[in-house]
């Protein structure tokens, strides 16, 4: 027993969940956000079904404001493993010129939340794997591994199905869907240690490098392309930075760092002074309970 380590236990749990969903759910999909958690999820899916390929497609909801390096990494990864990678863009939102500078929180709603709902409806997926973890935020700490969404894709936190042992109840009515979080029980540290142990590829933005950026409201925002609008007094500077989470570049705060290797990142993470999600500007918009609110409305 003693050789069966903490990471092995988490890995076996995630694989068990993925296999249950593949066996019981009608039309599963794995959401792929290109971040490190998605890299771990993909790696687990490849292992869970080997020598078969994962028996479901992957879906990336593209807001069109992702870092360039993320999109390159996505396409390279899909090709390398021969997996089916679907991309969904809310074209209506693009037509209306919805962007993170002018539209604030409605940008997130239209380009992420609504786009995800549209994508799930378009393909008729009945179960969607997500890489959410309970250590990220307080309301996630209470979400089940199998989380049910009604036909409006909304979550009802007061009425969660009891989840006993590993007897997952995957029965749903037509129009409903399940969000499944196989790495709920992993911490940020577990993710990094697993990436190292398994030698998993991640987007280079996680490693410190000289990058062009501006300082905005105390966050370091990278200038990834010329769509970045500068406010008065802001000046593009070059700093050695890295990212702890990845999303839309104008909304993702970087940190000054010298961590160029996984070991250095793990060292920094162990001594971290702020929890992971504070680097996402979106979370602080609306107070501590804002994530729960968004999830009730269908955000992942």
Partner 1 sequence: MNGLLKFITCGSVDDGKSTLIGHMLYDAKLLFADQERSLELDSKVGSREGNIDYSLLLDGLMAEREQGITIDVAYRYFTTERRSFIVADTPGHEEYTRNMAVGASFAELAVILVDASQGVLVQTRRHARICSLMGIKHFVFAVNKMDLIHFDRNRFKKIEKEIRMLLAEFDYESVKIIPVSATEGDNITTESEHMTWYRGGTLLSYLEEIDVHADDVEKGFTMPVQRVCRPNHTYRGFSGQIETGKLNVGDEITALPSKEKANVKSIICVGKEVDSANKGQAVTVQLDKEVDVSRGCVLVSGARPTVGNLFTAKLLWMDDSELVAGKNYLLKLGTKKIPAVVMNIKHKIDVNTGSEVSADAIYKNEIAECDISVSEKIVFDEFAQNPTLGALILIDRITHMTSACGVVMHKLNRADNLTYHEMDITREQRENQKGQKARTIWFTGLSGSGKSTLANALEKRLFAIGKHTMTLDGDNVRMGLNKNLGFKEQDRIENIRRIAEVSKLMNDAGVIVINSFVSPYRRDRRNAKEIIGEDNFIEVYVSTPLEECERRDVKGLYKKARMGEIQNFTGISSPYEPPENPDISINTAEHDIETCIDILLEKLEDKI
Q: Is 197 in the site for partner 1 (CB under 8 A)?
A: no
Q: Is 209 in the site for partner 1 (CB under 8 A)?
A: no
Range in contact with partner 1 (rule: CB under 8 A) among 10-18, 78-86, 205-213, 235-243: 10-18
**Which strand (E) or helix (H) includes residue 120?**
helix 115-123
Per-residue binding string, partner 1, 137-176, x by CB under 8 A, is: -xx-xx--------------xx-xxxxxx-x-x-xxx---
Determine contact, residues 119/89, Cβ cutoff 8 Å. no
**Which strand (E) or helix (H) includes residue 45?**
helix 36-49
How many residues belong to the site for partner 1 (CB under 8 A)? 56
Q: Is 92 in the site for partner 1 (CB under 8 A)?
A: no
**In the chain, beta strands by DSSP E:** 28-31, 58-61, 85-88, 127-129, 146-149, 177-180, 209-216, 219-222, 237-242, 253-256
Rank residues 143 and 224 by Cβ distance to partner 1 and give the closer one: 143
Cβ atoms < 10 Å from Cβ of 257: 19
> Which one among 1, 82, 233, 258 touches partner 1, defined by CB under 8 A?
1
Determine contact, residues 84/58, Cβ cutoff 8 Å. yes
The residue count of the chain comes to 300
Per-residue binding string, partner 1, 253-272, x by CB under 8 A, is: -------------------x
Q: Is 80 in the site for partner 1 (CB under 8 A)?
A: no
Rank residues 45 and 70 by Cβ distance to partner 1 and give the closer one: 45
Q: CA–CA separation, 22 vs 1, rounded Å?
A: 29
Q: CA–CA separation, 132 vs 183, rounded Å?
A: 7
Q: Please, what is the minimum distance in Å from the beta carbon of residue 47 to partner 1?
A: 4
The C-alpha R_g of the chain, in whole angstroms, comes to 19
Cβ atoms < 10 Å from Cβ of 28: 23
Q: Is 53 in the site for partner 1 (CB under 8 A)?
A: yes
Q: Is 213 in the site for partner 1 (CB under 8 A)?
A: no
User: Residues interacting with partner 1, by CB under 8 A?
Assistant: 1-2, 4-6, 8-12, 15-16, 19-20, 22-24, 46-53, 134-135, 138-139, 141-142, 157-158, 160-165, 167, 169, 171-173, 184-185, 187, 189, 272-275, 278, 288-289, 292
């Amino acid at each position: 027993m003693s050789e069966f380590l903490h990471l092995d236990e988490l890995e076996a749990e995630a694989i068990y969940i993925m296999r249950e969903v593949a066996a019981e759910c009608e039309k599963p999909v794995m959401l792929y956000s290109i971040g490190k958690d998605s890299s771990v999820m993909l790696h687990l899916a490849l292992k869970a079904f080997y020598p078969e390929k994962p028996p479901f497609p992957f879906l990336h909801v593209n807001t069109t404001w992702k870092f360039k390096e993320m999109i390159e990494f996505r396409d390279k990864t899909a090709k390398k493993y021969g997996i089916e990678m679907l991309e969904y863009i809310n074209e209506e939102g693009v037509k209306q010129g919805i962007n993170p500078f002018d539209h604030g929180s409605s940008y997130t709603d239209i380009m992420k939340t609504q786009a995800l709902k549209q994508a799930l409806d378009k393909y008729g997926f009945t179960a969607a794997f997500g890489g959410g973890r309970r250590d990220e935020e307080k309301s996630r700490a209470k979400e089940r591994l199998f989380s049910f969404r009604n036909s409006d894709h909304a979550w009802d936190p007061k009425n969660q199905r009891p989840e006993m042992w590993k007897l997952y109840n995957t029965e749903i009515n037509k129009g409903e869907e399940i969000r499944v979080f196989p790495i709920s029980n992993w911490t940020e540290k577990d993710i990094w240690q697993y990436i190292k142990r398994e030698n998993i590829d991640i987007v280079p933005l996680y490693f410190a490098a000289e990058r062009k950026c501006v300082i905005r409201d105390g966050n370091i925002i990278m200038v990834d392309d010329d769509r970045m609008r500068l406010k008065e007094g802001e000046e593009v500077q070059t700093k050695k930075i890295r990212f702890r989470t990845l999303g839309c570049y104008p909304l993702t705060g970087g940190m000054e760092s010298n961590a160029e290797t996984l070991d250095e990142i793990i060292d920094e993470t162990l001594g971290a002074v702020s929890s992971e999600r504070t680097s996402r500007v979106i979370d602080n918009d609306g107070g501590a309970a804002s994530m729960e609110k968004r999830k009730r409305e269908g955000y992942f």
